[in-house]
Amino acid sequence: MKQVILFVFLGLFLSCDDGDLQIETLNFDDSSIDFCGTATTETQVFFKISGDEALILTLASGVLKNEVSNGTIESAIPANSKITYRIFSANVSKNYFCDALPPQTPTVIDEIEAVDGKVLVNTILLEDGITYEHTIQLSDISLVNDDGSRITDLSINDFGVVTTTN
């Protein structure tokens, strides 16, 4: 009897398939916002790196302005701005994004584009009268990988703060 129960249990255990379901949590909380060169209102590509992962934000032209925002400026994803999540073969550095020719390694293992969401920007003028602080947030970001699995992660709300000057 014990052998029959063991056989049935093993049969059920080995026959179950989770469909290769992957649940990913994007965690860039400890990563600071970065960009190439000096940030200006013309800068459109911002990124956050966490080991062998990167979250890349490509802003639509004109989202960052050297003027105090009257409320929150919204940029729709993917219609205007773009969010890309990349997994690399090894740890990646700022040089990967900023060198004229990207290094040959690490290589991109997987790239997932956001299919929905919003970029929210609030701009204030600092006390010096010439520096603008742009707080960039993400809202309702939804990523879909190649097999159609949806990764919706609302824990990446605060993307970072960028300052520009007149």
Q: What is the pLDDT of residues 120-132, one digit of tens each?
A: 999 999 999 999 9
| Most confident range, picked from 3-12, 37-46, 155-164 | 37-46
**What's this model's pTM, rounded to 2 decimal places?**
0.81
Q: What is the pLDDT of residues 49-96, one digit of tens each?
A: 999 999 999 999 999 999 999 999 999 999 999 999 999 999 999 999
Instruction: Give just the sign of the alpha carbon dihedral 112, 113, 116, 122.
Output: positive
Tell me the β-bridge partners of 54: 49, 86
DSSP three-state, residue 156? helix
- Write the single-letter amino acid at 34: D
